[in-house]
Structure 1
Amino acid sequence: MSSQDIVTPFERSSYSSGGQGTECVEVAHTADGGRAVRDSKDRAAGLQFYGPDDWAAFIDGVKAGTFGG
């Protein structure tokens, strides 16, 4: 199994909505414990893959308010 094999269904983030509720991302788990991310409005645009350490650093940054949100 490749580290980029998606092992769970994509789930839409309940926190990523704009004024119309149309700005959403979807996230799925990968075989290596990382995540695959896609734009829910344009699924054919491709995926971004993040390894487990990068995903954990991103989540820590979100929780710490690093991104101004």
Structure 2
Amino acid sequence: MSETFDARGRVEDLEVLVAHQAREIEELSTELKKAFDAITILQRQCRHLTERFQAVEDALPKPEATKPPHY
């Protein structure tokens, strides 16, 4: 009879462990989604800034290739 109670206690312990793990996995999944969204926004902003810098660089006059005065 004590083996039955022992087995029942072990099963309950496993059920509790699985419930905690399921909650942790859900929380980690939520945080991973938030991080992915933030990375996506940052990539889009970086691409936009790169395009703006390129546009500014293209609009500037090109420097002439001349030798420095000390030559």
TM-score, normalised with respect to structure 2: 0.24
User: Could you say which structure has the larger radius of gyration?
Assistant: 2
Question: Higher RCO, 1 or 2 (CA under 8 Å, sep at least 6)?
Answer: 1
Question: Which one has a larger percent helix, Structure 1 or Structure 2?
Answer: 2
Which structure dedicates a bigger proportion of its chain to strand? 1
